[in-house]
Amino acid sequence: MPDSSKRPPRLILASSSPYRRELLERLRIPFDVAVPAIDETPLVGESPETTALRLAQAKARAVAAALSAGERALVIGSDQVATYDGHQIGKPGTHEKALAQLQGMRGREVLFHSALCVFDSGSGDAQAVDVVTRVRFRDLPDAALDAYLRAETPYDCAGSAKAEGLGIALLDAIESDDPTALIGLPLIALTRMLLAAGYPLLEVR
């Protein structure tokens, strides 16, 4: 009979984002998905970094709180907030709001705060980090921005530009320590956290 004590802990991605799920699948490890029910509204006077970190941790803790008593899992929470000139930029939701976002960001440098939390429901330990990506947008005319939005409809992405798709044509430069952070889940930071939590990342297949 298999020794359950030697099994790696269950991994749970606390997110409704298909982009984060696709990124986590790159690691080729088993995981479940649970959608946390939390209010993602920024608090008054809260910095973008603080917002992203707070929400990433809140998502992970909310999913962990719903686990059965005694069940150990590593719960992954993540959140992304974009900002320029002190303005926080979230998911636009509509074409009109997305166009306004891109108009405001053209020719500017935008910071994307991609926060990550790994919460161990067994020990109560939480690891959290904010990975910052600097993105410089090209100064494109309204017609080009409108055409992009209609082609890719990135209305569920903070900043209205999908760098992994046609949105790369809107960007002049990207600076980051983690190339996956801008897409929504910093895998370099995540693998570091999983290894620190004792997860046998390169042994589980």
Indicate which CATH number applies to the domain containing 102. Answer: 3.90.950.10
Closest CA to 51 of 98, 114, 111: 114
Cα→Cα distances 30→34, 85, 117, 122, Å: 14, 40, 18, 19
Domain with 22 in it: 9-196
Residue 130 lies in a domain: yes
What positions carry a catalytic annotation? Answer: 79
Would you state the pLDDT for residue 204? Answer: 58
Would you state the pLDDT for residue 3? Answer: 46
Residue 3 lies in a domain: no
Would you state the pLDDT for residue 1? Answer: 37
Q: Dump pLDDT digits (tens) for 140-191.
A: 999 999 999 999 999 988 889 989 899 999 999 999 999 999 999 999 999 9
User: Coil, strand, or helix at residue 62?
Assistant: helix
User: In the chain, which residues have pLDDT < 70?
Assistant: 1-5, 204-205
How many independent structural domains does the chain possess? Answer: 1
C-alpha count within 13 angstroms, C-beta hemisphere, residue 142 = 4
Would you state the pLDDT for residue 205? Answer: 54
Contact residues for 205 (Cβ-Cβ < 8 A; gap 6+): 28
Residue 30 lies in a domain: yes
Residue 4 lies in a domain: no
Would you state the pLDDT for residue 158? Answer: 85
Nearest-Å Rg of the Cα atoms of the chain is: 18
Contact residues for 32 (Cβ-Cβ < 8 A; gap 6+): 10, 11, 12, 13
CA–CA dist 178, 170 (Å, integer): 20
- Contact criterion met (CB below 8 Å) for 111 and 130: no
Would you state the pLDDT for residue 5? Answer: 55
Containing 145, the helix (H) or strand (E) segment is helix 142-152
The whole-model pTM stands at 0.89
Residue 2 lies in a domain: no
Residue 78 lies in a domain: yes
Closest CA to 106 of 137, 136, 135: 137
Residue 45 lies in a domain: yes
Cα→Cα distances 20→8, 71, 95, 159, 198, Å: 21, 24, 22, 16, 22
